[in-house]
Amino acid sequence: MKTQIKFVAFVAVSIDGIIAKSNNSGTDWTSKEDWNFFQKSLSKMDAVIVGHNTYKTAQKRLDKRNTVVLTSKINKLKLVGSVTFLNPKYSDILDFLNKKKYKKIAILGGPKVYNFCLQNRMINELFVTIEPYVFSNGVYMFKGDKFMKHKFILESIKKLNKKGTILLKYRYAN
Amino acid sequence: MKTQIKFVAFVAVSIDGIIAKSNNSGTDWTSKEDWNFFQKSLSKMDAVIVGHNTYKTAQKRLDKRNTVVLTSKINKLKLVGSVTFLNPKYSDILDFLNKKKYKKIAILGGPKVYNFCLQNRMINELFVTIEPYVFSNGVYMFKGDKFMKHKFILESIKKLNKKGTILLKYRYAN
């Protein structure tokens, strides 16, 4: 299905690719410069897509947005205020987003959602913020079943602060 | 134990922090620009430290260097040409490196070796090459037992080629 929607994924990671300590922990370890960039970016988006764990870690903020929560726990679309719970196994997400006339959509994770969107060609741009830490263990950015090679093209590099938080902007290239 | 040895870790990763498809696969997916940087850097080093899997994937090249292979499969130091097999459980690695009078040592992985060196304050500098791919699944950079927060300071960013391979240089900050 052809769509004019632009999907932009945002992710903040450690040097070793970790986004959180566990599935239920938030991203309170990121820099305020990244937070500012992130909030400014979200203000230009029509809607956000998150997984159920990510939704729970930031429910208060996400309830104020047009939020689509991908979840395997329901069969039918469920609407609560501006939040839609959708099981992509039973509901066509592109169909839903098109009907809503959303043009710019932010993908906010977690790993299964990033991966679902990647597999379904729903990542056009990817913003990666790398904070200067090594965590050694935790939750990784993408969570796929097997090794694949998705090509991206680097569009820009920006240093966000003195300690060395960097922001990379990629475009999907496959 | 105080030491004047400088430890420099090198790692090439995908955007999502993956260094290889499996423990036994090499890094043949990296750019030639990274390879050139890597070889030039190694030429300035006195010795390299690798794990047993990494050793096996590049044995021919590593046999020509002063190579220390960290392995749990032996009890005593074993020397084969310029290669030393060492079990850090039974032999003091800093002691060994000091006796050899090595001043600059490259840490080349895999994940367990990167992590061992990190835990033992044997990473002073960290060069991370990010190739513009997302792999979704594979072997990650560091492999620790638990979430920790090791701070680094970004010293430089360099774009290595047009497609967007970047080279980050970090200094350990804790």
Rounded percentage of chain A residues whose pLDDT exceeds 90: 93
- Phi and psi angles of residue B85, each rounded to the nearest 5 degrees, phi first: -95, 125
Best mutation target, A134, A137, A149, A163, to test chain B (most B CBs within 10 A)? A134
Q: Give A10's strand partners.
A: A127
Q: Considering CB atoms only, which of A18, A132, A152 is closest to B170?
A: A132
Chain A residues whose CB is inside 8 A of the B154 CB are 132, 159, 163-166
A153 with B164: Cβ contact below 8 A: yes
Mean pLDDT in residue range A41-65: 96
Nearest CA in chain A to B17: A17
Q: pLDDT-derived band of residue A118, with 50, 70 and 90 as boundaries?
A: very high
Structure tokens that stand for A53 in this block: 């764990």
Q: Is the per-residue pLDDT at B2 higher than 60?
A: no
Supply the ipTM of this predicted assembly.
0.94
B135 with A147: Cβ contact below 8 A: yes
From CA A136, how far away is CA B142, in angstroms rounded? 5
pLDDT at B25: 83
Residue B98 in 3-state DSSP? helix
Q: Give B6's strand partners.
A: B104
Cα of A155 to nearest chain B Cα, Å? 8
A16 with B17: Cβ contact below 8 A: yes
pLDDT at A1: 52
pLDDT at B3: 54
Q: pLDDT-derived band of residue B43, with 50, 70 and 90 as boundaries?
A: very high
From CA B48, how far away is CA B35, in angstroms rounded? 16
pLDDT at A87: 98
Nearest CA in chain B to A170: B132
B148 close to A135: Cβ distance less than 8 angstroms? yes
Q: pLDDT-derived band of residue A159, with 50, 70 and 90 as boundaries?
A: very high
Q: Is the per-residue pLDDT at A4 higher than 90?
A: no
Cα of B158 to nearest chain A Cα, Å? 10
From CA A113, how far away is CA A126, in angstroms rounded? 13
pLDDT at A27: 75
Mean pLDDT in residue range A163-172: 97
pTM listed for this prediction: 0.95
The one-letter code for the residue type at B14 is S
pLDDT at A2: 57
Mean pLDDT in residue range A92-104: 97
pLDDT at B23: 85
Chain B residues whose CB is inside 8 A of the A12 CB are none
* Lowest pLDDT segment from A146-150, A158-162, B2-6: B2-6
Mean pLDDT in residue range B152-159: 97
Q: Considering CB atoms only, which of B22, B136, B142 is closest to A136?
A: B142
Q: Is the per-residue pLDDT at B1 higher than 70?
A: no
**Helix/strand/coil (H, E, C) string of chain A?**
CCCCCEEEEEEEECCCCEEECCCCCCCCCCCHHHHHHHHHHHCCCCEEEEEHHHHHHCHHHHCCCCEEEECCCCCCCEEECCEEEECCCCCCHHHHHHHCCCCEEEECCCHHHHHHHHHCCCCCEEEEEECCEECCCCEECCCCCCCCCEEEEEEEEEECCCCCCEEEEEEECC
pLDDT at B106: 98
Q: Is the per-residue pLDDT at B81 higher than 80?
A: yes
Q: Is the per-residue pLDDT at B26 higher than 90?
A: no
Rounded percentage of chain B residues whose pLDDT exceeds 90: 93
Q: List CB contacts of B32: < 8 A, sequence separation 6 or more.
A: none
Residues of A engaging B, defined by a Cβ cutoff of 8 Å: 13, 15-18, 21-22, 29, 115, 118, 126, 128, 130, 132-138, 140-155, 157, 159, 163-166, 168, 170, 173
Q: What is the mean pLDDT of chain B?
A: 95
